[in-house]
Amino acid sequence: MNTLQKVFIAVLNMSITASYVAIGIMLIRLLFLRKAPKVFSYALWSAVLIRLVCPVSFSSVFSLLGPVSSRALQGTGALEYVPHDIGFMQVPAINGISSSLPHATEAASVNPMQIVMAVLSVVWLAGIVVLLLYSAISYLTMRNRIRMATLVQDNVFETDRIRTAFLFGLIRPGIYIPVGVRESDLPYILAHERMHIQRRDYLIKPLAFLVLIVHWFNPLMWVSFALMSGDMEMSCDEGVLANMDSDATSSYSTSLLSLAMRRSGLATGSPLAFSESNVKSRIRNVLNYKKPAFWTIILAVVLTASLIVAFTANPKRRQAASTSYLGYATTALMENKTLYVGDNSKVVALIDAMPWPKGTVRSTVELQTAAAPYGLTVNFDLNDDSSIKAQGAISGDAFYRNSIVLFSLIDNVDVINCKIADKTGKYNGASYGFTYTREAANTAVGKDVREFANSQESLRNLLDAVQKLPMSSDTLKPLTG
Amino acid sequence: MKPYKLFDAEYKFVSLIWENEPMNSTELVRLSFDRLGWKKSTTYTVLRKLCRRGILQNRDSIVTSLVKREDIQKYESEALVEKNFDGSLPMFLTAFLDEKKLSTKEAEELKQIIEKAAR
């Protein structure tokens, strides 16, 4: 898999995590922050931004993502919904949903999912390029239009080629106002734009837009960007009003209105420029604004800060209790216990939570789920035979033991095949293996092996039992065909 | 003769020349920087454009006007911002951010709300 696809899958996973965070923030805004100063809603969006750019995060028991998180990649701090090896799965699955994704077919030389991912990642990149180009052109067009703007004072310029006031420039932003702004409106317009400068909003908004471009395929991020922009404007309004007398509110809102009415046609809404958005809700917000009491601010600050932390943290996976027993990651085994062999991601997770003989590497996993008997085939590459050599041949003991454990944890699998492909050359490059049935596994342990999967304790009993089992066949036979 | 139409900035620029002509172009650059906040390149671009339109003349770095103040009109600022060339950055984004035109009725409503709150 090439780098582009790896990056794309990482972005996809960040996007999914951020979507959950965004939905959470939308709910909190709606339920608790309607009357609160908008600066708190605005601050909350930082959690989405962090989620969109940071593939990894710290784990905390305070995380709010517990109910929705998929498997966390062991030890990396990244949340993974779309498996990074999706292109190489026999039956691709995203969070247990596999029916809609194309399955691997034996006739095709390449897994269709691999092709799908390759195509999607190219489309994703193309979208970014188009949006960046479009943004760059718009930026240059705008720069050209305001180049002739004439100085009013300090960093304020006026021009008749714009309809509304905004900031332009990233290093030393200028305030650009339309020609003919009423004398009485000017102080409020300038106070608003200066508040944007003071709060570094002129840097935050382009940054957020850049991140949005990377996640352009996610409609929830567009909604988030729009809501964030609104919160930014309204909290800026509040910042202006906090510095003014309380009777300034009506003049301030009148100025907002008169500036909005100047725009007779379409509005300029460049993310790189500051302009009016949603004048109506802004005027309502301004009129409802009251300087909040000291203790309300303290409470809101604490609440917002803890929410940001809670949204940024990955859920703690009972990491302390994550135990292993005889080399088996028992916690992971219990978590990925499944009723269906068709649940590819869980089945693969189960296989990878088991100790396999040294010198063997798990390659593909095939699932036979079309009709009963349901089968599972695990393919291995043998790179070094020193640990599983017995009497000049390959010992199958470890594979038999693990097959019994798989029968216990995958409820509906009837047959398990293990295939070991010789890569050492000592066995003529042939494949070795065996087929094991559920009946045989039940007979070996003396009861239905699934009963052992009830708890970690009973699972440990099974692991003990399989270690002591006398193996019927000690060495593996070459597979024919 | 039909009147020349100028942008606000062009009008201010030509006004500098009416007040000071004939003037040296270096001096014009300095004055434009002080009064209009323009960079040298902007001044020369606008100067070249206005010379081509026959409004100004730049001969041997001496700038003079060819048109009198009475013959010049400013563009109505409404006419300037062409509809299909309004949004700077993503126009689709503008539409998306719901920056709709405020209707007269809505504006009137808002005005009343403001007045009510002021009382």
Interval A439-448: pLDDT, tens: 988 888 888 9
Confidence band of A199 (pLDDT split at 50, 70, 90): very high
Q: What is the mean pLDDT of residues B71-84?
A: 55
Determine whether the interchain pair B36/A151 forms a contact, defined as Cβ–Cβ distance below 8 Å: yes
Q: B117 and chain A: CB distance < 8 Å anywhere? A: yes
Enter the tokens of residue A249.
């509110």
Determine whether the interchain pair A276/B90 forms a contact, defined as Cβ–Cβ distance below 8 Å: no
Confidence band of A160 (pLDDT split at 50, 70, 90): confident
pLDDT of residue A43: 93
Q: What is the mean pLDDT of residues A331-345?
A: 86
pLDDT of residue A68: 58
Determine whether the interchain pair A276/B99 forms a contact, defined as Cβ–Cβ distance below 8 Å: yes
Instruction: Find out whether A474 and A390 touch, Cβ atoms under 8 Å.
Output: yes
Residues 6+ apart with CB under 8 A from B107: A257, A260, A261
- Checking if the pLDDT of A274 tops 80, the result is no
* Strands A156-159, A150-153: pairing kind: antiparallel
Query: Residues of B numbered 77-116 whose beta carbons fall under 8 angstroms of chain A's beta carbons: which are they?
Result: 77-78, 80-81, 83, 86-91, 93-94, 96-102, 106-107, 110-111, 113-115
Chain B residues close to A229, C-beta within 8 Å: 97
Enter the tokens of residue A159.
């021009």
Residues 6+ apart with CB under 8 A from B17: B23, B28, B56, B63, B64, B65
Chain A, chain B: beta-carbon pairs less than 8 Å apart: 143
Omega before residue B22 within 30° of 0, cis: yes
Instruction: Find out whether A387 and A357 touch, Cβ atoms under 8 Å.
Output: yes
Q: What is the mean pLDDT of residues A228-241?
A: 89
pLDDT tens-digit profile of B10-28? Answer: 888 988 888 887 888 888 9
Which residue of B40, B93, B108, B113 is the best one to mutate when testing the A interface, meaning the one whose CB has the most A CBs within 10 A? B93
Compare B104 and B17 and report the one with higher pLDDT.
Answer: B17
What percentage of chain A has pLDDT greater than the value 70?
81
pLDDT of residue A475: 61
Q: State in Å, rounded, how far the first CA of chain B is from the last one.
A: 55
Enter the tokens of residue A283.
């005027």
> Lowest-pLDDT range, A39-48, A447-456, B105-114?
B105-114
Q: Under the phi-then-psi rule, with left for phi > 0, alpha for psi from -120 to 50, and beta for the rest, what region is A446? A: left
pTM: 0.66
Any idea which residue has 């990955």 for tokens? A314
Whose CA is closest to B71, among B84, B54, B83, B57? B54
Enter the tokens of residue A297.
């601010």
Q: How far is A179 from chain B (nearest CA, A)?
A: 8
Confidence band of A97 (pLDDT split at 50, 70, 90): very low
Any idea which residue has 């269709």 for tokens? A112
**Cα(A237)–Cα(A286) distance, integer angstroms:** 7
The CA radius of gyration of chain A, in Å to the nearest whole number, is 31
pLDDT of residue A120: 92
Confidence band of B69 (pLDDT split at 50, 70, 90): confident
- Checking if the pLDDT of A115 tops 80, the result is yes
Helix axes A186-198, A201-214, angle to 10 degrees: 60
Distance of CA B77 to the CA centre of its chain: 8
pLDDT of residue A266: 35
pLDDT of residue A64: 67
Residues 6+ apart with CB under 8 A from A446: none
Q: What is the mean pLDDT of residues A198-224?
A: 92
pLDDT of residue A253: 83
pLDDT of residue A195: 92
The CA radius of gyration of chain B, in Å to the nearest whole number, is 21
* ipTM reported for the complex surpasses 0.90: no
Compare A262 and B55 and report the one with higher pLDDT.
Answer: B55
Q: How far is B117 from chain A (nearest CA, A)?
A: 7
Residue count of chain A: 481
* Strands A156-159, A166-168: pairing kind: unpaired
Query: Residues of A numbered 223-282 whose beta carbons fall under 8 angstroms of chain B's beta carbons: which are they?
Result: 226, 229, 249-250, 253-254, 257, 260-261, 263-273, 275-280
For chain A, the average pLDDT equals 80
Structure letter (DSSP) for residue B53:
T
Whose CA is closest to A194, among A156, A224, A138, A144? A156
Whose CA is closest to A147, among B55, B41, B64? B41
Burial (CB count within 10 angstroms: exposed 0-12, middle 13-18, buried 19+), residue A35: exposed
Q: How far is B104 from chain A (nearest CA, A)?
A: 9
pLDDT of residue A83: 65
Q: How far is A120 from chain B (nearest CA, A)?
A: 23
* DSSP-derived 3-state class of residue A246: coil
**Cα(B65)–Cα(B62) distance, integer angstroms:** 10
Determine whether the interchain pair A269/B114 forms a contact, defined as Cβ–Cβ distance below 8 Å: no
Query: Residues of A numbered 135-164 whose beta carbons fall under 8 angstroms of chain B's beta carbons: which are they?
Result: 135, 138-139, 141-142, 145, 147-151, 157-163
pLDDT tens-digit profile of A404-421? Answer: 999 999 999 999 988 888
pLDDT of residue B89: 39
Whose CA is closest to B17, among B27, B8, B7? B27
**Cα(A128)–Cα(A130) distance, integer angstroms:** 5
- Checking if the pLDDT of A74 tops 80, the result is no
Compare A109 and A144 and report the one with higher pLDDT.
Answer: A144
Instruction: Find out whether B95 and A222 touch, Cβ atoms under 8 Å.
Output: no
Whose CA is closest to A9, among A94, A101, A99? A94
